[in-house]
Amino acid sequence: MKARLIMPLLLVCRAVSAEPSELPSVVDNSMYPEVEVGAAVKPSSANNALYEMMKQLEQLQVEVRQLTGKVEEQAFLLPR
């Protein structure tokens, strides 16, 4: 148990004592586009369509839960 706790601690201590140039990059920012700070994000038609689809999916999930509940009630009321 102690060995499992000590090993990560040693790695952290080694990383803290290392020079910043020796540390590996944690985040790869190349996949994110450059955006101006304070730039407003404008909704696009694709975002609106995605929002509408998500809204419809949530409504359908609610309806499925309601219908499942009704089916379970009916199954319980059926004579055995």
Q: Please state the domain extents for the chain.
A: 46-80
SS3 19: coil
Q: Is the predicted pLDDT of residue 67 greater than 90, yes or no?
A: yes
Residue 26 has pLDDT above 80, yes or no: no
Cα–Cα distance measured from residue 63 to residue 56, given in angstroms and rounded to the nearest whole number: 11
**Which tokens go with 23?**
């540390």
Write down the pLDDT at residue 8.
58
Cα gap 66→74, rounded to integer Å: 12
What mean pLDDT is reported for the chain? 75
Q: Convert the pLDDT of each residue in 27-66 to its tens digit.
A: 666 666 676 666 565 668 889 999 999 999 999 999 999 9
For 15, list phi and psi in degrees, rounded to 5: -70, -40
